Amino acid sequence: MQTCEIRQGPCGARGEESTPRPPAFFGAKMAYGICCILIGSDIDAPTKFQKMTYAAFSKMDRQAALEVLGSRILNNINSTFDAIKFCRGKGYCYRLSSDLFPLVTYDKAEMAVCDLPQHGLIENAFLSIREYLAANPVRISTHPDQFNVLATENEESLTRTVRELNFQSWILDQMGCPADYSSPINIHVNNSKGSLNEIAGRFKRGLELLDANCRSRLVVENEDKASGWSVKKLAQLHGETGCPITFDFLHHKCHPDGMTEEQALRLCHETWGEYKPLFHYSESRDAANPRAHADYPSDSPENYGLDFDLDFEFKMKDRAVALFEERLLQTVGLT
């Protein structure tokens, strides 16, 4: 998979209803984040991303398949632009969808972005986003799928991971996003084979294979399973690599590993240095499966006096954020 040279520029089921406790962070300079899709009632249309499977692609004439794929990718970029403008109007951050460019990084498809008939239109769409963000800053991030494992022992898997992460960084480049932790690429270590030192060593090797801009954006997130990477374990990885740690409230609740929420959050916050952290917030759908995300929030996260942005990972996306904001105003008597 190759990308094409495109001009770059600068940019700056819900549980029982309950009254949330007064949030410590009300009035703080915290931006809430929307993850990928908009489904709210105060927008013209929901954000819809179009996919294409390799099975469907390979059954078509090559040129016809590229035409269809290019049309869908262009739709996805335009839908992303709509979402960015919505987030700007609300003061939100925005996490890019992982489905913007279906098949482009899939090795069997053997294509580059410049193979698409709509390449020129795609370049212009990126230019429009880049110019908009330069005048109307929105914090943009991405969270590639969990099959991207830098610490894998499998060389083919590592090659695919490096290809995908570099491509995600390339997308951020085309939007003019800064090549630093203000536009983070968030991943999980997602590997438990070997000692912490062995896994950290493989992760560090994988990190060194990434493009410079990708490395300068990469952050790692605590995991929710008992065998996964807790904040405590990630602190060791941070010492080896310097990668900031993304604090996920729900994941820590599921896998605290002996640390209180405040201890873990403060540790993560410190790893971001001069950059404002971007953390994740969700709640359990139910006790039967505590790792499953709820549709809507019923509580408020604590910020312990620290400043950070917060992606809302609830199933109802922007509707969940809108409900949360409404409850905040009610809590402090502004409605």
Residues 236 and 322 placed together within one structural domain of the fold: yes
At residue 293, φ and ψ (nearest 5 deg) are -85, 140
Residue 99 neighbours by CB under 8 Å, 6+ apart: 36, 49, 51, 76
Residues 313 and 186 placed together within one structural domain of the fold: yes
Residues 73 and 170 placed together within one structural domain of the fold: no
- Rounded Cα–Cα distance for residues 262 and 259 (Å): 8
Quick one: pLDDT band at residue 220, thresholds 50, 70, 90? very high
Is the pLDDT at 12 greater than 80? The verdict is: no
- Identify the pLDDT of residue 335: 45
Residues 79 and 153 placed together within one structural domain of the fold: no
- Rounded Cα–Cα distance for residues 168 and 188 (Å): 15
Is the pLDDT at 28 greater than 70? The verdict is: no
Count of structural domains, the chain: 2
Residues 150 and 133 placed together within one structural domain of the fold: no
Residues 297 and 308 placed together within one structural domain of the fold: yes
Can you give the residue range of the structural domain that contains 65? 48-138
Is the pLDDT at 16 greater than 70? The verdict is: no
CATH of the domain at 165: 3.20.20.150
Whether residue 326 is contained in a domain is answered as yes
Residues 67 and 101 placed together within one structural domain of the fold: yes
Residue pointed to by tokens 């403008």? 85
Whether residue 41 is contained in a domain is answered as no
Whether residue 278 is contained in a domain is answered as yes
pTM metric for this prediction:
0.89
